[in-house]
Structure 1
Amino acid sequence: MKILLVFAHPEPESLAASLRDVAIRELEAAGHEVKVSDLYAMRWRSEVDRSDFPLLAANDRLRVAQASGEAFEAQSLTEDVKAEQEKLLWADTLILQFPLWWYSMPAILKGWVDRVYAYGFAYGVGEHSDKHWGDRFGEGTFAGKRAMLIVTTGGWEEHYSPRGINGPIDDLLFPINHGILYYPGYDVLPSFVTYRVDKLDARGFKEISFALRERMRSLETVEPIPYRSQNAGDYFIPSLHLRPELEDPNTSGFRLHLRSEPREAAVERRRA
């Protein structure tokens, strides 16, 4: 299997970097091929601006989605962006690894997504019809590939529990797992989260390393998060509202977008 690990932490001697190395060693020992995009070491430019689109005329208004689509079609995106796109097309599995800062990913990693996920490459593909609303949320460029997050955080696990003050970790990571990974088609695997990293001692690191190695060994077999496919019949087209018979109409929240039925049943319903 070919794996791209996109790493976002500014300290080469960090716990996150040590866990990255544990993961890479385990994957390579199993015979997988691994490429790493270390964004801080690459001095990745996070902001999107006019310099991303060399063909954009000086007097044209910058509409980022439109400009990225035109640049992708013309193969005029900057070389750093094209290199990352090639890695994504090469990889069977994408791993995003980052510390949880202010309830999200570091800006440099968000900027990687903003620049690399060009219109026409990662989104905006597919046709619209009365039963189909574009290739996204379960379909798209990366359909058939796998992706997951490796996350470190200073808070206690209890802080990120269903009744914890920070909210459930799965809810905090939903915009990334569902909105960045599942949107362009990845099968999204459960995240690997390490808590209280600033207090982790040698024994704790050994335990976490063992658990991470176990996760890397199961990368090809672990069941993905059962997100609902946009075009399988669960949502009205084009409103993209979940059909009321699938969940209590008075219920809201991210869990509504998790299937309660096997994937095979959803596929059969779509065919019908």
Structure 2
Amino acid sequence: MPQSTTPAATTSDESTTRTALVVLGHHRADSLSAHTARRAAARLTAAGYTVDFLDLHAEGFDPRMTVADQPDWNNRDKRYSPATEAQMGRVLAAEVVVVVFPVYWQSVPALVKGWIDTVWNYGFAYGRSKPRLAGKRVLWLGLAGATANDEIIPGMQQLLEAQLSDGLAYYCGFADSRVGLLPDAEEQPQTIDAEGNLVIGEAISGDARTAHYAAFDARAEGFVDDLLAAGLVNA
């Protein structure tokens, strides 16, 4: 993907009406996922969005389901726990949601899965004739250790799209949901040989490493730009 161009910033009056939520689903602040989430937030800010940055681990989000947050199929207006209601408010306030996470077993990590299970709950995200989240747009940025030419990548893309776009965002009324899969996240390339053994290559360093991650950042920012551009076309 060629180097992306930063979307033109809006006027100050327009920027107050554009809101975005960036969700980081990683336990380390120094991770590549955290770096990518911060780049996505900066990209949205440059495009005129007011960004709410949600670091699930840093904010102490507990992904375990509780009785207080269990759906009540007989009451779609159930009040959930105060912590979950606060999370729901942050999702509701955002026109654009960007979720950044490492791909674990071709899915999202437990931290993100628990956030989805608890916050994207019955009566809020789904279960109404007119979904409260209708019209919003979401980008799922998944960082994968596999190399771009690994045979697993197309299937991984399909699985994530089925789970996150078809099985979740569409069901909740989102106008646009897309998965930005980012392979080559590891410094040491990882492949599987014919016998199923993990083969780890030599770590990249120096100028090669700098170029590698510059290209990685450009791909991630390109996914953000594409989502925003699609929103302008459909506005």
User: What aligned pairs does 1:112-131 form with structure 2 within 5 A after superposition?
Assistant: 112-126=115-129
Paired letter, 2:77: E
Q: Secondary structure at the match of 2:149?
A: helix
The one-letter code of the counterpart of 1:13 is: D
Contact 2:141–2:220 (CA<8 Å) still a contact in 1? no
Gaps spanning 5+ residues in structure 1: where? 54-63, 127-134, 224-272
Summarize the alignment of residues 215-234 of structure 1 with structure 2, pairs less than 5 Å apart. Answer: 215-222=223-230
Q: What is the CA–CA distance in structure 1 between the aligned matches of 2:61 and 2:19, rounded to whole Å?
A: 23
Is 1:40 the counterpart of 2:57? The answer is yes
Looking at structure 2, the residues matched to 89 and 40 of structure 1 have their Cα atoms a distance apart, in angstroms, of 21
Equivalent-residue separation in structure 1 for 2:21 and 2:65 (angstroms)? 23
SS in 2 for 1:158: coil
Shift of 1:38: 0.7
For 1:44, the aligned partner's letter is F
Distance 1:195 1:89 in 2: 30
Matches within 5 A, 1:157-168: 157-159=148-150, 164-165=151-152, 168=155
Aligned-partner residue type, residue 168 of structure 1: G
Q: What is the aligned partner in structure 2 of residue 85 from structure 1?
A: 88
State the alpha-carbon separation in 1 of the partners of residues 216 and 184 from structure 2: 11
Corresponding position: 1:179 with 2:159: no
SS of equivalent residue, structure 1 residue 221: helix
2:101 corresponds in structure 1 to 98
Query: How far did 1:65 drift?
Result: 2.7
1:197 partner SS = coil
What pairs with 1:125-144 in structure 2 (closer than 5 Å)?
A: 125-126=128-129, 140-144=131-135
Contact 1:145 1:187 in 2 (8 A): yes
- Relative distance call for 1:212 and 1:166 in structure 2 (3 A) is closer
1:18 and 2:35 correspond: yes
Describe the shift of the 1:66–1:107 C-alpha distance in structure 2 as closer, same or farther (beyond 3 A): same
Q: Name the TM-score, length of structure 2 as normaliser.
A: 0.75
Task: For 1:219 and 1:176, locate their aligned partners in 2 and report how far apart those are by CA, in whole Å.
Answer: 15
Residues 195 and 166 of structure 1, relative CA distance in 2, 3 Å threshold: closer
Match of 2:141 among 150, 159, 167: 150
RMSD: 2.2
In the alignment, the residues of structure 1 paired with residue 139 and residue 164 of structure 2 have an alpha-carbon distance, to the nearest angstrom, of 10
State the partner residue of 1:259: none
Asked whether the equivalents of residues 182 and 219 of structure 2 are also in contact (C-alpha less than 8 Å), the reply is no
The residue aligned with 1:213 is 221
2:51 alignment partner, SS class: strand
Q: Relative contact order (alpha carbons < 8 A, sep ≥ 6): 1 or 2 greater?
A: 2
Count, aligned residues: 194
**TM-score normalised to structure 1 length:** 0.65
Q: Which residue does the alignment assign to 1:170?
A: 157
The structure richer in strand per residue is 2
> C-alpha displacement at 1:165, in angstroms?
4.1
Contact 2:22 2:40 in 1 (8 A): no
Quote the Cα distance in structure 2 between the aligned partners of 1:104 and 1:216: 20
Q: Percent identity?
A: 25
Structure number, greater radius of gyration? 1
- TM-superposed deviation, 1:166: 6.0
- Structure 2 stretches lacking a partner, 5+ long: 1-17, 188-203
Q: Distance in 1 between matches of 2:39 and 2:22?
A: 12
Q: Give the distance between the partners of 1:47 and 1:206, measured in 2 at CA.
A: 36
Q: What amino acid maps onto 1:22 in structure 2?
A: R
Structure 1 residues 110 and 192 mapped into 2: Cα distance closer, same or farther (>3 Å)? same
